[in-house]
Amino acid sequence: MTAFRVLLLLLLTDIYTTQKITEKPSLAGPELRGRITTSTFALNQPRCIFDTYTNTTDEIWLVVVLTSEKSKFVNPVPPKSLPAYQDFPLNSSYMTLNTARLNYPCLPDSTDITVLRVGSETSCMTDRSRPNCNGPLPVPGPYSVKFLAMDNSQPKAETEWLDDIMLKTAQQSNTIDPQPRRRSASMIVITTILSILLAILLVCFIATLIYVCTDICGSSEISSKEAPVAVTRYNTHHVYSQPENRP
Amino acid sequence: MFSSYKDNCVCGFLLESTAQQGGLHEVLKMAKGDNGVRCFQGLLVLGNVIIGLCGIALTAECIFFVSDQQTLYPLLEATNNDDIYGAAWIGIFVGFALFNLAVLGIVGVIKSNRAMLLAYIILMLITYAFETASCITAATHRDFFTRNLFLKQMLEKYQNPEPLNNDDKWMSEGVTRTWDRLMLQHECCGVNGPSDWQNYMSKFRNINSDSEFPWPRQCCVMNVQGIPVNLDGCKLGVSGYYNDKGCYELIAGPMDRHAWGVAWFGFAILCWTFWVLLCTMFYWSRIEY
């Protein structure tokens, strides 16, 4: 009986073995400024990866787990339902961004930016009817992701895990110190020179007042003691000319 | 100017005195017809003319700054540190006073009137003190305009949904209006760049989710209707669909010109006025009653 059960189990796992693909998901290139934000990150689309292992109608899902709980994750097989976004992070994993493989055509020279933005849908965050909601990530991480191809809810192929995606953490604005580090040279020059000039002017003004006051006061004092100026009388020429002309 | 003076002057009187008084006094006493004196008077008049012209220029410059063409005043008002505007206001009145005093100085020097020149010197000293204060204020307060000051202000006041009181509401609205206009007109984002909105928490972030608004919509490249050209490209940070550069240069540039214009031009005027005042004080002390 037990041997029969073991055989059945082996048969079942044999049917449901998922194909392991060696590629990993990759983060989008660094030229995108919004590659990693505080609640989203961007991955490159899994083009040309699943082509040999899946049909065009198979769905490719993204599995997001917390790296610390990665070992607990097993690919969901029916009748077990897929982990929903709304239960994350209590559930420590969710699956989202499901799309048919034909939406990832393998075009070698595509110049379009082909990224998947994880966390871009805000409208279905609490909507239980959308368990595959691509909602914003609630904690900074670290996260691990992999792509999982499913055929009628049966896992068919999967990539390796991409580990340790850390999201940005925002600092409080009161940690910013707005004080200037040091005084600028211009300010020091202006302040010192102008202060010195003003001081010199005031000193000179007071000195001038004192000088003028002593000068006026001094000269008036001296003039009162002054000896009278000797005035010389001049006899002009015409006084003597008249008697000479008398006959 | 000098020919008319010659017609009016009482030429050539000297004070004689006994030999008891010091000889130096009489030699240096100003003879009104003397060439050296006229030369000195000419220099003083020239000095005052330049002061008058500089006074007008200072008034014009300060009126230009106070009228705030770039409308950055709300940002300063919100920092509670708008003293460079105070310095510019003082500059307006100082420039006007310098012009008037220069006229008084010219008249006083030509007439060699002691009372006029004393009034000139005292009023000039007062004006000098005010202008010194204005220059030092402008130079000192310019140092406070660091990147972090505007960054902190932007994070705490831009699109602030819950201002604490009316004052805060007024400041927040001014900051929001100014930043929106700056980011749209000059195609820039944040103080250092869009990453400011990612690196720090902000009042903006409190009501706008990071997923929808990694940075404000005003950071996106807009078409003529004011709608982002490619919203997803803007949110992802694809170059060409969002504004990459920071706005700090556009704020600091006009503030620098404002502060250094007031401070250094005032400094130059004061250096010149210093010499004119010293010479006037010397001239005044040499006029005899």
Residues of A whose CB is below 8 A from B263: 186, 190
Question: Between β-strands A41-44 and A162-165, what pairing exists: parallel, antiparallel or unpaired?
Answer: unpaired
Q: What is the DSSP letter of A27?
A: B
| Gap from A187 CA to chain B (nearest CA, Å) | 5
d(CA A189, CA A192): 5
Give the SS3 label for residue A235.
coil
Q: Which of A121, A170, A191 sits opposite B199 (nearest CB)?
A: A170
User: Is the minimum CB–CB distance between B261 and chain A shorter than 8 Å?
Assistant: no
My answer on whether B49 and B130 are in the same domain is: yes
Is B2 part of a structural domain of the chain?
A: no
- What pLDDT does residue A156 have? 84
**pLDDT tens digits, one per residue of B89-118:** 999 999 999 999 999 999 999 998 899 999
My answer on whether B140 and B262 are in the same domain is: yes
pTM, whole model, 2 decimals? 0.77
**pLDDT tens digits, one per residue of B172-210:** 999 999 999 999 999 999 999 999 999 999 999 888 888
Using the beta-carbon criterion (under 8 Å), do B267 and A190 form an inter-chain contact? yes
| Gap from B67 CA to chain A (nearest CA, Å) | 24
My answer on whether B201 and B276 are in the same domain is: no
Pick the closest to residue B263 from B158, B139, B178 (CA basis): B139
My answer on whether B47 and B87 are in the same domain is: yes
My answer on whether B140 and B163 are in the same domain is: no
Q: Which domains does chain A have, with CATH numbers?
A: 12-168 (2.60.40.10)
Total tally of structural domains belonging to chain B: 2
**pLDDT tens digits, one per residue of A66-103:** 988 888 888 887 777 888 888 887 888 888 888 888 88
> Please, which residues 189-218 of chain B have a Cβ atom closer than 8 Å to chain A?
194-195, 198-202, 205, 209-212, 214
- What pLDDT does residue B270 have? 96
Residue of A nearest to B193 (CA): A33
> Please, which residues 165-194 of chain B have a Cβ atom closer than 8 Å to chain A?
194
**How long a stretch of residues is chain B?**
289
d(CA B247, CA B252): 9
**Per mean pLDDT, which of A164-168, B34-38, B260-264, B274-278 is the most reliable?**
B274-278
Residues of B whose CB is below 8 A from A205: 121, 125, 281
My answer on whether B266 and B139 are in the same domain is: yes
- What pLDDT does residue A71 have? 86
Using the beta-carbon criterion (under 8 Å), do B237 and A32 form an inter-chain contact? yes
- What pLDDT does residue A243 have? 52
My answer on whether B201 and B268 are in the same domain is: no
d(CA B105, CA B96): 14
- What pLDDT does residue B15 have? 40
| Gap from B24 CA to chain A (nearest CA, Å) | 13
Using the beta-carbon criterion (under 8 Å), do B156 and A208 form an inter-chain contact? no
Band of residue B120 on the pLDDT scale cut at 50, 70, 90: very high
| Gap from B284 CA to chain A (nearest CA, Å) | 9
| Gap from A141 CA to chain B (nearest CA, Å) | 16
Residues of A whose CB is below 8 A from B202: 173
Residue of A nearest to B259 (CA): A187
My answer on whether B67 and B209 are in the same domain is: no
CA A59 to chain centroid, in Å, comes to 36
Is B183 part of a structural domain of the chain?
A: yes
| Gap from A240 CA to chain B (nearest CA, Å) | 31
Using the beta-carbon criterion (under 8 Å), do B237 and A35 form an inter-chain contact? yes
Give the SS3 label for residue A66.
strand
Residues of B whose CB is below 8 A from A186: 139, 260, 263-264
Q: What is the DSSP letter of A225?
A: T
Report, as ranges of residue numbers, the positions in chain A whose pLDDT lies below 50. 13-14, 223-224, 245-246
Mean pLDDT (chain A, rounded): 80
CA B192, B198, B203, B204 dihedral sign is: positive
My answer on whether B91 and B128 are in the same domain is: yes
Cα atoms in the 13 Å half-sphere on the side-chain side of A49: 23
| Gap from A212 CA to chain B (nearest CA, Å) | 6
Mean pLDDT of B220-224: 90
- What pLDDT does residue A7 have? 57
Is B159 part of a structural domain of the chain?
A: yes
Is B231 part of a structural domain of the chain?
A: yes
Question: Which residue shows structure tokens 């206009």?
Answer: B181
Pick the closest to residue B86 from B139, B48, B138 (CA basis): B138
In which element (H, E) is residue A41 found? Answer: strand A41-44
User: Is the minimum CB–CB distance between B71 and chain A shorter than 8 Å?
Assistant: no
Is B23 part of a structural domain of the chain?
A: no
Q: Select the residue from A32, A33, A176 to test the B interface by mutation, using most B Cβ atoms within 10 A.
A: A33
Using the beta-carbon criterion (under 8 Å), do B194 and A226 form an inter-chain contact? no
My answer on whether B229 and B158 are in the same domain is: yes
Using the beta-carbon criterion (under 8 Å), do B289 and A136 form an inter-chain contact? no
Q: Which of B149, B200, B271 sits opposite A178 (nearest CB)?
A: B149
Domain that holds residue B220: 147-247
User: Is the minimum CB–CB distance between B244 and chain A shorter than 8 Å?
Assistant: yes
d(CA B7, CA A30): 86
Q: Does residue B16 surpass a pLDDT of 50?
A: no
Q: Does residue B283 surpass a pLDDT of 80?
A: yes
Is B77 part of a structural domain of the chain?
A: yes
Band of residue B8 on the pLDDT scale cut at 50, 70, 90: very low
- What pLDDT does residue A237 have? 63
| Gap from A5 CA to chain B (nearest CA, Å) | 49
- What pLDDT does residue A6 have? 57
Band of residue B76 on the pLDDT scale cut at 50, 70, 90: confident
Band of residue B4 on the pLDDT scale cut at 50, 70, 90: very low
DSSP code per residue over A125-177: TT-TT-TT--PPPSS---EEEEEEEEETTEEEEE-PPEEEEPPP-PBPGGG--
Mean pLDDT of B131-141: 93
Residue of B nearest to A230 (CA): B18
My answer on whether B171 and B95 are in the same domain is: no
My answer on whether B40 and B170 are in the same domain is: no
Using the beta-carbon criterion (under 8 Å), do B201 and A173 form an inter-chain contact? yes
d(CA A21, CA A53): 9
> Please, which residues 20-39 of chain B have a Cβ atom closer than 8 Å to chain A?
20-21
Is B10 part of a structural domain of the chain?
A: no
Is B5 part of a structural domain of the chain?
A: no
